[in-house]
Amino acid sequence: MAEAKDAKRYRFDGERVLHLADLDTDGGVSREDRDRIEAETKTLQEKICAMQDRLYADGREGVILILQAIDAAGKDSTVKHVMSGVNPQGVDVYSFKTPNTEELAHDFLWRVNRCIPERGKIAIFNRSYYEDVLVVRLRELNKTYKMPERCTGKKTSEFFDERYADIVNYEKYLFHNGYRVVKIFLNVSKKEQKKRFLERIEVPEKNWKFNAGDLDDRDVWDKYHEIYEMAINHTASAVAPWYVLPADRKWYTRYLVSQILLKTLEDIDPRYPKLDEAARMGLADCRRRLESEGKKKDAEPAK
């Protein structure tokens, strides 16, 4: 039986260069491992729930979990399963699609910056500001931006190198303000993506998920992955690492994401707030008042 590999194997923090072709997309686990791994995932999720409760109560740090992937890699199902059971009051989920007119009239970080959570909460970004160095580069949308010539007239490499630098600085800024940024790329194979696309076409309940436009990106698979490699290699850092996870087997992906999120929460080590002496005395007084209610009721004469 193949042993589940630790998520550290898929971590990129700027110390080594990512080559997607060198990474597996199935995690090296077999289907016989599924029951064991799903049981371990459930244990991890229980620990995440306990840690999230402490994070929310502590309120000193926040977590931003970014999920990036090509279509049908499993972003939605990953969010659904990994965060099952957590207190919804302490979690925000945002999906970022093609920028609208208002968003395009602002800097590229504007729409995301409005979604940074309060410290004490976890925010999950289903896609993110990375779209502005991924799909924008793939389709050369930067050339259509309504911006001054000094911005749009640059060479493509210079334009995006500046954006990579902006992202690195932004993520450092978030870290310096009490946030942990964890970035995950779901690395699905072309074969598995085709299988999932066909399932969306053949299963009526999944028809709504299929978008014929997704095949356009599939036609430029190699170019898209080259752009992903560039983005990850330029923005991986110790304070905001990337995890490039195998995504062909969703149950294994969920295990790894759960492992990563739990490790992040453990590194934060949130604590329940301790009350000062005056607050503790106040609680003691409230307890006496509540206990006295029962005594008064018992002392009342029967009618």
Segment 158-193, tens digit of pLDDT: 999 999 999 999 999 999 999 999 999 999 999 999
> Which of the two residues, 113 and 302, has the higher pLDDT score?
113
Domain assignment present for 32: yes
What are the structure tokens assigned to 149, written together? 């010539």
> Cβ distance 132 to 104 under 8 Å?
no
Euclidean distance between CA atoms 250 and 245, whole angstroms: 10
Beta strands in the chain, from DSSP E residues, in sequence order: 11-12, 62-69, 91-95, 122-126, 179-187, 242-246
Whether the CB-CB separation of 222 and 162 falls below 8 Å is answered with no
Q: Does the pLDDT of residue 99 top 90, yes or no?
A: no
Q: What pLDDT is attached to residue 5? A: 54
| pLDDT level of residue 297 (50, 70, 90 thresholds) | low
In sequence order, the β-bridge partners of residue 65 are 124, 182
Residue 298 lies in a domain: no
* Side-chain-side CA neighbours of residue 72 (13 Å): 26
Residue range of the domain that includes 100: 7-276
Which tokens is 289 given? 């008042």
The pLDDT value given to residue 148: 95
Q: Report how far residue 68's alpha carbon sits from residue 185's, in angstroms, rounded to the nearest whole number.
A: 5
The Cα–Cα gap between 63 and 227 comes to: 26
The structure tokens 């759960």 sit at 258
Q: What's the total number of domains in the chain?
A: 1
Q: How many CA atoms lie within 13 A of 87 on its CB side?
A: 14
Integer Cα distance of 76 and 247 in angstroms: 12
Task: Write the CATH number for 114.
Answer: 3.40.50.300
Specify if 109 maps to a domain.
yes
Residue 209 host element (H or E): none
Dihedral angle at the C-alpha atoms of 152, 156, 162, 166, nearest 10 degrees? 80
Confidence band (pLDDT; 50, 70, 90) for 274?
confident
The reply to whether 301 falls in a domain is no
